[in-house]
A = this chain, B = another copy of it.
């Protein structure tokens, strides 16, 4: 790849192993996140999710299968009284770890995309009831108010593009 002196430094690194890209291969689809929202909100059964969201049946089937395949949801049996056994979907630890993303997405949407009457859902701390959300902090315990003070640096898996081409 030709490079010039004013190229941004990040341009020299490969995107092959980018974990944002890999995450969004799983998550980067509207309905996937809507399904996760339902499960985080305790709506765990196929028919409930379908009715509540309006996701077409086949799309929902596919999204649930994808999330199970990636170990984000697990399928567990339940038996309604007098009916045959069915399944519901629960978050695995890997799925539960998506919660900071979910809350961050909700709060960005609340700020920029809510109706005039305000956000449909608020997130509160269970113990004290006050609003909860993500804040940025470093390992040394400094609170970081300005996102520009968080900087990306090459990690252990960084690959220069020259390594391949």
Whether, in the assembled complex, A115 has its beta carbon less than 8 Å from a beta carbon of chain B, the answer is yes
Chain A residues with a Cβ closer than 8 Å to the other chain, count: 96
Q: Which of A63-120 contact B (CB under 8 A)?
A: 94, 96-106, 108-115, 117-120
- Bound complex: CA of A113 vs CA of B27, how far in Å? 13
Task: Give how many copies assemble into the complex.
Answer: 2
Q: Which of A34-57 contact B (CB under 8 A)?
A: 34, 37-38, 40-44, 48, 51-54
A97 to chain B, nearest CB (A): 6
- Bound complex: CA of A20 vs CA of B102, how far in Å? 8
- The answer to whether B42 touches A9 (Cβ under 8 A) is yes
- The answer to whether B52 touches A15 (Cβ under 8 A) is yes
Q: Which of A121-154 contact B (CB under 8 A)?
A: 121-128, 130-140, 142, 144, 147-154
Report chain B residues within 8 Å CB of A8.
Answer: 41-44, 48
The answer to whether residues A33 and B41 also contact, given A19-B114, A52-B15, A155-B120 and a CB cut-off of 8 A, is no
Whether, in the assembled complex, A59 has its beta carbon less than 8 Å from a beta carbon of chain B, the answer is no
Partner of A150 from B37, B103, B108, B149 at Cβ < 8 Å: B103
- The answer to whether B121 touches A130 (Cβ under 8 A) is no
The answer to whether residues A120 and B23 also contact, given A28-B33, A135-B134 and a CB cut-off of 8 A, is no
Interface centre among A21, A120, A136, A139 (most CB of B within 10 A): A120
Q: Which of A1-20 contact B (CB under 8 A)?
A: 1, 7-11, 13-15, 17-20
14 CB < 8 A contacts A-B: A21-B34, A24-B30, A24-B34, A28-B32, A97-B147, A101-B108, A119-B157, A121-B153, A122-B154, A123-B151, A125-B139, A125-B142, A126-B151, A132-B138
